[in-house]
Amino acid sequence: MKDFHFNSLHEPIKPLILRFGEVEDWGNVLVRTKAGQTREALAGLERLCKQLNPRFPFTYRFADEEYQKLYKSESIVDRLSNCFACLAIIISCLGLLGLAMFTAEQRTKEFGIRKVLGARVGTLFGLLSREFLLLVLVAFVVASPLAWWAMHKWLQNFAYHVNVQWWVFVLAGAMALLIALATVSFQALKVAVANPVKSLRSE
């Protein structure tokens, strides 16, 4: 038979001898059941076990559950990383929204003067959004090498693994820019379309 994994992917493929004999005092039986008929198959196997070997209890394990146990720590890390990532995105968006509101409040008269002088809504929207998108871009440039290094070190724990592709970071950066733009766009549009007379009269 060709070499195949019978342990975790953390370990390289090792030699394995499969021996089949007609007379064996012990062993396991591998059974493949049809989809949706697992209970019926287990009941039939239990009856057969009691008939052929009544002194020993019928015990069984599912192969998929055994494989899941090999990657239990990875499953926990996956769930925790997803939760913390969502929490970090929410906190970042709240901070970005607060910063956008503060900046818009500080530059209300400036935008009013620009609008009186003929600035378009798209120009004002770009002026306010550009600063925050630049901050996100700087954060992306700083975080990408660190993320690549962390992923590279984590993948070294596996005997067989893929390489981290560059497009993953480009996709993550594009999503971060879109989330930042969606967060500040409402406040930026609100300032851009505001009546300049009211902004100039405000103290």
Same domain for 56 and 103? no
CA–CA dist 187, 183 (Å, integer) = 8
Domain membership of residue 80 (yes or no) is no
pTM of the predicted structure, to 2 decimals = 0.68
pLDDT beneath 70, residues of the chain: 22-26, 192, 194-203
Same domain for 134 and 176? yes
Domain membership of residue 78 (yes or no) is no
Range of the domain at 9: 1-70
Model pLDDT, residue 110: 75
Same domain for 93 and 62? no
Same domain for 53 and 141? no
Same domain for 110 and 158? yes
Same domain for 97 and 190? yes
Listed residues 31, 47, 70: the one ending a domain: 70
Same domain for 131 and 158? yes
Same domain for 194 and 120? yes
Model pLDDT, residue 158: 86
Listed residues 37, 70, 103: the one ending a domain: 70
Domain membership of residue 45 (yes or no) is yes
Domains in the chain: how many in total? Answer: 2
